Amino acid sequence: MFEWLSENRAIVAAVLIIVMFGLFVWSIVVGRKQAKLKANDEVFGDPVRTKGGWYWAVTGVTALMLVWFYYSWGMARAYFPNAANEMCQIAKLEEAVSPIKAALPIGSRYYKSTLLASRNSDQLEELLVQLPATVFTDGEKTELQDLIIQIRALIANSSNPENLNQQSKDELVGLSQRLNELSSFLEAGPGDMTPSAEALAQPRWGTTFTEIPILPITSKGMLFDAASVEAAEIAGTFNKVRNRVPENGRLIEDIKERIEAIKETNASGSFDEQVTADREDYVKAVERIFKRLDDGLIFPAAALADVNSAIAELDDASHAAQGGLTTADALLFPGPGIVKSKTQCTEQGSARWLPKPTDVVATFMRLANPDVEDGGGYRGFPLLWWDWLPVSNVVAFFVPDWIADAWPGEYASHGPDGTITPNFKDKLLAFAQGDVNLGHVPMLDGHIWDSLFRVLVALALGIFLGVPLGLFMGVSRFFKSFFDPLIELYRPVPPLAWAPLILTIFGIQDDGKIFLLFMVAFAIMVISARTGASGVQLTKIRASHSLGATDRQIMWNVILPNALPEILTGIRIAVGVCWGTLVAAEMLAGTTGVGFIENIARTVSDYELIWVTILIMGVLGLIFDLIMRWIIQKTIPWRGMG
Amino acid sequence: MADLVCEHLNMTFTNPQTGAAVEALKDINFNLKKGELLSVLGPSGCGKTTLLNVIAGFINATGGCAKLGDQVIDAPGVERGMVFQQGALFEWLPVSKNVDFGLRMKKNNAAENAKLVEKWLDIVGLQGFGDTPTYQLSGGMQQRVALARCLINDPEVILMDEPLGALDALTREKMQSLVLELWKETGKTIMIITHSVEEALLLGERLFVMAPRPGRVHKEYRLPFAERGLKESLREIKHDPYFSEVREEILTMIWDMEEEIMGRV
Ligand SMILES: Nc1ncnc2c1ncn2[C@@H]1O[C@H](COP(=O)(O)OP(=O)(O)OP(=O)(O)O)[C@@H](O)[C@H]1O
Ligand SMILES: [Mg+2]
């Protein structure tokens, strides 16, 4: 069942989207009707105006889901399940022609030749101006000036159409022709091309870590795939075309020799260090520009015009051959679309970091599968499951080893025959270390439970130590003045600033995280209990004194219940803050927990997993809060009534 | 049971910031015999609440002393029950648990408590409300719970600080009758502070009019109306010419005091 759903997530999404769109429209209709009915019943600002209105919640949730489906390309995949594959093939063609386009105005505003000519001319101009007056002799200066003029002549010679030799001309014409043929090939359409069995056997879009199947699975895709192969060859040829101007050949040899001559003078050692360095720098700069110009990459602008228009034509042909796909691309694929890099096609734009809702659910289901052997869980540990826990471990956790050490007597030593007969002290040690079989109890297990466990233990400790202290601080000058500075010193430090220190001291196991969270919960509980205790109405205290209550009775029967609303609110806040801190602490160190999963997912850019962990944390946080709200409602109905 | 005595009672508050001293009470002397009903009147800020707080033992006088019998008052105690302006009820407890609070603190037998609670709820007219949360009661009902809570402890003296101040006229009248009834039936010493001259006249067997700055007893009356209120309707008493005469006198007195304060400011 789940397998089927996972395989056919496009169809599932298609149905879901229609349902949600229906709900969206319906809830708006209902909402408007209701709004009309109630329009005049309540004045503006009356709190009653915010009561009810679940239909707007439906509108909001469905709108959010639809936006999610849209920006994650979930909608696109639902209704055009093959589009990504086809776009991938188009991207292949794009990738193949990109080297040609990069040299032409169609791809980058200017001809590459234009850029080369202008940039190098500018730099030569600069060099002429910067010619150092002191380090060269007058003769050398004229020589260098002449060299620069000659190098500039290289640019001029290459840019002159009359100098273009026949071979280059032929090559360029041939390229234009092949491009035009490619355009015709695209225009002719796919004909009877059929995708290969291998291509059809690929996993579907989004079902594996490699998002988009790379081999073409439609005839249109075949067409573009074939075109991309040809285009890649054309691009290869284009890259090899050079403008060999015969005149430049001679000039280049001449310049080379003359530069060598100056370099030799430089190296002769007849100058002091600084002068040598300056001379070498300048000559090096001249040579660098020369080297850029000696490989025939500058063409006359007119010579490339044909290739440029052939590429434009190819673009038109490709566009025409895409047909309806361009519309789908524009409407349903927000962002830059699909890009082909070396080995794979990837989604770009919002879809890159926003996984499709169905994929998130599928990833969650994969993680939630408790069968670790079957690929469930994460890193060999289930998400949330149960396991048999040896009772002795629990006992060992609470019974410290030193109890055995402190027990009178000595540990047994080996007897003359080399065997050991454990005495009571040994047995006690084994007990304290958990080396005894006391049976097993079922215990929750998994990443989520580990996170929950840390929060719950820290919270429990924080409550049991923080509430009494807070209450005493609320009623006693000594407690208030003694503990207030201590708590106020550590509390304002953000918990995460403590994390590195505490995790270093306690190690990456649970204790460090629990202690960190305990610190957070403790401060919050102390402060809320203290606020609650000091907020008791004086008349209530006086009344209980007059009724004969002792101090301890007043603490227990008046101050504590009076502080209960604050304490429970404190717990609610502490749960939230602990939860937030925990995830960050787990990101810093550890081998289990929801934050740990997210951290690993981050390092491998597994966006689906990141979102799954975000959603898990959101849902758990929400559940915590709902439970706390429920408890508050049930336990202190008198809140705000006193 | 014993008399409530104040001897040269002084209470001076010192403002910790400015060091300015306020003489809230100066040289208060009186002797309230067992079973007497005293009402205290006076303009706002003349030290009525302060006097009551000293007698209840919530604050310690800076001079002189208050005594119940031979016992000098220096702390709150069960023998001096207190009823506050607003019930000061424990809103987390239902009515019955509020009423038997004092008994529970004494660790009384639970069954006995239940019986007493039943009896007192009956007396104050709240039978059947034992399990109701106090915040669901009206203001008048809450005051009656506070009364029952105080009386169930069987105190020798009952101190009330504007106990009826927050009630509407009708409820107030009923509560006044209830106080008189309780006074008659239990024979307790009662000291009641009020802002209403009529109430002070109706409830006060004795009546102190206090004057401010320094707080002192300006004039004392002995009045017959409380006695009569046990038999006659309170409304009739209000039409009595003597009643009107005393009322006018006191009103003028307080009015003059207020004028004086205004003038001084
Ligand atoms: N804790 C305190 N610290 C300083 N001054 C105080 C304090 N309590 C009362 N006072 C002052 O003592 C005076 C008497 O106050 P008190 O509350 O007894 O007046 P009151 O007669 O009860 O007034 P009201 O009728 O308004 O309740 C007032 O001037 C007040 O400012
Ligand atoms: Mg007062």
ipTM for the whole complex? 0.91
Is B163 in the A-facing interface, judged by CB distances under 8 Å?
no
The neighbouring-strand residues paired with A391 are none
DSSP per-residue string spanning A580-642: HHHHHHHHHS-SSSHHHHHHHHHHTT-HHHHHHHHHHHHHHHHHHHHHHHHHHHHH-TTTT--
CA of B184 from ligand 2 middle (Å) equals 26
The CATH number of A447-635, from 1.10.3720.10, 3.40.50.620, 1.20.1250.20, 3.30.70.3270, is: 1.10.3720.10
How far is the alpha carbon of B78 from chain A, nearest alpha carbon, in Å? 5
Helix (H) or strand (E) holding A239, with range, is helix A219-240
Are B149 and B163 in a shared domain? no
pLDDT at A502: 86
pTM, entire model: 0.78
Pick the more confident residue, B202 or A567. A567
Sole residue written with tokens 């991207």? A91
Where are the domains positioned within chain A? 2-71, 88-329, 389-445, 447-635
Are B94 and B127 in a shared domain? yes
Q: How confident is the model at residue A641 (pLDDT cuts 50, 70, 90)?
A: low
Mapped onto helix, strand or coil, the DSSP state of residue A160 is coil
Give the other-Cβ count within 10 Å of A116's Cβ: 20
CATH number of the CATH domain containing B235: 3.40.50.300
CA of B23 from ligand 1 middle (Å) equals 9
pLDDT per residue as tens digits for the range A201-232:
988 888 887 788 899 999 999 999 999 999 99
Distance from C-alpha of A295 to C-alpha of A412, rounded to nearest angstrom: 88
CA of B217 from ligand 1 middle (Å) equals 15
Say yes or no: CB of residue B62 within 6 Å of ligand 1.
no
Is A284 in the B-facing interface, judged by CB distances under 8 Å?
no
* Domain count of the fold of chain B: 2
Is B149 in the A-facing interface, judged by CB distances under 8 Å?
yes
Atom of ligand 1 nearest to the CA of B59: 1
Are B149 and B182 in a shared domain? no
Pick the more confident residue, B151 or A66. A66
Give the other-Cβ count within 10 Å of A140's Cβ: 16
Top-ranked range on mean pLDDT: pick from A15-19, B30-34, B90-94: A15-19
Domain boundary among B134, B154, B174: B154
DSSP per-residue string spanning chain B: ---EEEEEEEEEEE-TTT--EEEEEEEEEEEE-TT-EEEEE-STTSSHHHHHHHHHTSS--SEEEEEETTEEP-S--TTEEEE-SS----TTSBHHHHHTHHHHHTT--HHHHHHHHHHHHHHTT-TT-TTSBGGGS-HHHHHHHHHHHHHTT--SEEEEESTTTTS-HHHHHHHHHHHHHHHHHH--EEEEE-S-HHHHHHH-SEEEEEETTTTEEEEEEE-SHHHHHTTS-HHHHHH-HHHHHHHHHHHHHHHHHHHHHHHH-
Sole residue written with tokens 């002192």? B216
Q: Which residues contact A54 (CB under 8 A, 6 or more apart)?
A: none
Say which ligand is closest to the CA of B50.
1
DSSP per-residue string spanning B47-71: SHHHHHHHHHTSS--SEEEEEETTE
Mapped onto helix, strand or coil, the DSSP state of residue A340 is strand
Read off the DSSP letter of residue A381: B
Domain extent, residue B146, equals 87-154
Are B67 and B195 in a shared domain? yes
Domain boundary among B135, B154, B173: B154
Is A178 in the B-facing interface, judged by CB distances under 8 Å?
no
Q: How confident is the model at residue A41 (pLDDT cuts 50, 70, 90)?
A: low
CB contact under 8 A, B77 and A548: yes
Q: How confident is the model at residue B223 (pLDDT cuts 50, 70, 90)?
A: confident
Which tokens go with A153?
Answer: 């002549």
Are B50 and B172 in a shared domain? yes
- Backbone dihedral angles phi then psi of residue B192, each to the nearest 5 degrees: -130, 130
* Closest CB from B76, B86, B93 relative to A546: B76
CB contact under 8 A, B149 and A547: yes
Report the pLDDT averaged over residues A609-634.
Answer: 91
Are B44 and B162 in a shared domain? yes
CA-wise closest residue to A390 among A443, A462, A328, A351: A443
Residues in chain A within 8 Å Cβ distance of B149: 543, 547
Does the structure show a pLDDT above 60 at B265? no
Compute the half-sphere exposure of residue B85: CA atoms within 13 Å on the CB side of its CA: 12
Q: Which of A298-312, A395-409, A562-576 has the lowest mean pLDDT?
A: A395-409
Q: How confident is the model at residue A376 (pLDDT cuts 50, 70, 90)?
A: confident
Top-ranked range on mean pLDDT: pick from A67-81, A274-288, A586-600: A67-81
Are B56 and B174 in a shared domain? yes
* Closest CB from A542, A547, A557 relative to B58: A542
Q: How confident is the model at residue A642 (pLDDT cuts 50, 70, 90)?
A: low
Read off the DSSP letter of residue A568: H
Which tokens go with A437?
Answer: 């079989």
CA-wise closest residue to A563 among A463, A413, A442: A463
% of chain A at pLDDT higher than 70: 99
Atom of ligand 1 nearest to the CA of B11: 12
Is B26 in the A-facing interface, judged by CB distances under 8 Å?
no
Q: How confident is the model at residue B250 (pLDDT cuts 50, 70, 90)?
A: confident
CA-wise closest residue to A159 among A210, A116, A218, A207: A116
Residues in chain A within 8 Å Cβ distance of B81: 546-547
Q: Sheet with B80-83: list strands edge to edge.
A: B80-83, B157-161, B189-193, B37-41, B206-211, B216-222
Domain boundary among B154, B174, B199: B154
Q: How confident is the model at residue B214 (pLDDT cuts 50, 70, 90)?
A: confident
pLDDT per residue as tens digits for the range A125-156:
998 888 888 888 888 888 889 999 999 998 99
CB contact under 8 A, B84 and A539: yes
Are B179 and B246 in a shared domain? yes
pLDDT per residue as tens digits for the range B177-206:
888 888 888 888 899 998 888 888 888 888
Does the structure show a pLDDT above 90 at A72? yes
Distance from C-alpha of B147 to C-alpha of B82, rounded to nearest angstrom: 9
CA of B24 from ligand 2 middle (Å) equals 11
- Backbone dihedral angles phi then psi of residue A470, each to the nearest 5 degrees: -60, -40
Report the pLDDT averaged over residues A607-619.
Answer: 91
Say yes or no: CB of residue B47 within 6 Å of ligand 1.
yes
Atom of ligand 1 nearest to the CA of B215: 14
Is B77 in the A-facing interface, judged by CB distances under 8 Å?
yes
- Backbone dihedral angles phi then psi of residue B40, each to the nearest 5 degrees: -120, 130
